[in-house]
Amino acid sequence: MSPQHISPLKNFFAGGFGGVCLVFAGHPLDTIKVRLQTQPKPGPGESALYRGTLDCFKKTLAKEGLLGLYKGMAAPIIGVTPMFAICFFGFGLGKKLQQKTPNDVLTYPQLFAAGMLSGVFTTAIMAPGERIKCLLQIQAASGQVKYAGPMDCAKQLYRENGIRSIYKGTALTLMRDVPASGMYFMTYEWLKYTLTPEGKSPTELSIPSVLFAGGMAGIFNWAVAIPPDVLKSRFQTAPEGKYPNGFRDVLRELIREEGIGSLYKGFNAVMLRAFPANAACFLGFEVAMKFLNWIAPNL
């Protein structure tokens, strides 16, 4: 690796743009993932509501049209720009804090630690956004309209049980995002440097290489994140009081009723979404970063 100037502020703005790119590219498969993760267990002799990723896609498209795949997108779009801005800012700050001099080259464990810091930073925005998004996504699947939109959902949750209701699932969001973010950024940096031709700078990486590195970073991120994400989706969409002991009750119920494989519900949808969404995210980030370096080289 070659040393390079780290600007957490540029990371902030470029990360926000990358996050918007990610949502537009990946939300349809995120909708399918949540519906697969939260579908009720079929009774004796009954078939599951969705047989898999493709079946969920077909039924959603047939029943709700293309817009059905984008249900609940307003919540992540509203939250995604500051969320990814803070995420990439946290990563940039984590890297900068570990440098003794601006020329220090960080090791991969240090990059992993910087990524974990970014996961801590994003939870404050991620947890309520995920709670609202999941409720809107499963509402569309059930056909029972309780919430008119993201703001209405937030207002109703606040009226029902205060701010705690909006932030329900924060611990699980942390359990998901801290290790997964470490893996996310470390994988991207590793692939970026691996794919850089000898004698070239990683900032000169070709668009296909950036897309591949970003897409694979998303795959590695979700390989770590899926089990806590399943628990989070189930916990955040459960009726109030159903799981008094939090995620431990969700885990016990899932293992008891559906086995260990239930922790990987939505795996295909997650992985299908992970590559294009995160490829778009990192491409957006790199394009924005080049633009910022051009207009403010000394920032």
Lowest mean pLDDT of 27-36, 83-92, 251-260, name the range: 27-36
* CA distance linking residue 230 with residue 269, whole number of Å: 12
Q: Distance from CA of residue 155 to its chain's centroid? A: 24
* CA distance linking residue 73 with residue 20, whole number of Å: 11
* Domain count across the chain: 1
Residue 48 belongs to domain spanning: 8-295
Per-residue confidence (pLDDT) for residue 36, from 0 to 100: 84
| 124 half-sphere exposure, CB direction, 13 A CA radius | 9
Whether residue 25 contacts residue 280, with contact meaning beta carbons closer than 8 Å, is answered with yes
74 CB-contact burial (10 Å; exposed 0-12 / middle 13-18 / buried 19+): middle
Q: What is the tens place of the pLDDT at every residue in 189-239?
A: 999 999 998 888 888 889 999 999 999 999 999 999 999 988 998 898 888
29 domain residue, yes or no: yes
Tokens 């998901």 appear where?
A: 176
259 CB-contact burial (10 Å; exposed 0-12 / middle 13-18 / buried 19+): exposed
- Two tokens, residue 267: 């795996």
Task: Tell which residue, 137, 230, 131, has the closest CA to residue 175.
Answer: 230
Alpha-carbon dihedral angle through residues 251, 255, 257, 262, given to the nearest 10 degrees: 90
3 domain residue, yes or no: no
Q: What is the tens place of the pLDDT at every residue in 130-167?
A: 898 888 888 866 767 888 888 899 999 999 889 999 99
Residue type, 126: M
Per-residue confidence (pLDDT) for residue 178, from 0 to 100: 95
59 domain residue, yes or no: yes
Whether residue 119 contacts residue 170, with contact meaning beta carbons closer than 8 Å, is answered with no
178 domain residue, yes or no: yes
Whether residue 90 contacts residue 117, with contact meaning beta carbons closer than 8 Å, is answered with yes
2 domain residue, yes or no: no
What's the pTM value of the predicted model, to 2 decimals?
Answer: 0.79
β strands within the chain, DSSP E:
none
Whether residue 116 contacts residue 210, with contact meaning beta carbons closer than 8 Å, is answered with no
273 domain residue, yes or no: yes
Does the pLDDT at position 2 exceed 60? no
Does the pLDDT at position 241 exceed 50? yes
73 domain residue, yes or no: yes
HEC profile of 40-67:
CCCCCCCCCCCCCHHHHHHHHHHHHCHH
What is the DSSP secondary structure assignment for residue 104, as one 8-state letter? P
87 domain residue, yes or no: yes
Task: Tell which residue, 193, 200, 235, 214, has the closest CA to residue 26.
Answer: 214
- Two tokens, residue 193: 């440097």
> What's the CATH number where 102 sits?
1.50.40.10
- Over residues 255-274, mean pLDDT: 85
Whether residue 217 contacts residue 242, with contact meaning beta carbons closer than 8 Å, is answered with no
66 CB-contact burial (10 Å; exposed 0-12 / middle 13-18 / buried 19+): exposed
